[in-house]
Amino acid sequence: MGTQAEFIGIGFGNLINRERIVAVVNPDSSPARRMVQDARDRGVLINATSGRKTQSVLVADSEHLILSALSTEEIRRRLQGSVKDSDMAAETAEDKA
């Protein structure tokens, strides 16, 4: 019926649907911090950092914001498909350590 969803890892075993992401932004700018606070207030903030420092903010088409401990550059590479499965397996092993 529909196409199968493609998921990418955003760190610590967390996955997101590649097609639902509309933007990846650096969390250090004032507008990004305001977006995060607004999402927190509205109850649409998803923290996928596992307690690590937020390195990127992903904006979904549902208006959810997802915080990731991976850099914006790493998320970009994963969205473009330039991360190999072996790299993902290595990251998963590191996440569990």
Q: Delimit the domains of the chain by residue range.
A: 7-84
Q: Is the pLDDT of residue 93 over 60?
A: no
Q: Running DSSP on this structure, what letter comes out for residue 29? A: S
Average pLDDT score, the chain:
89
pLDDT score at 90: 53
Question: For residue 86, what pLDDT band results from cuts at 50, 70 and 90?
Answer: very low
Q: 65 burial class (0-12, 13-18, 19+ CB within 10 angstroms)?
A: buried
User: Half-sphere exposure (CA, 13 Å, Cβ side) for 76?
Assistant: 7
User: What pLDDT is recorded for position 89?
Assistant: 52
Nearest to 72 by CA among 42, 17, 20, 29: 29
Q: Tell which residue, 60, 48, 64, 46, has the closest CA to residue 14.
A: 48
Lowest mean pLDDT among 2-6, 10-14, 92-96: 92-96
Phi/psi for 27 (5° steps) reads -75, -5
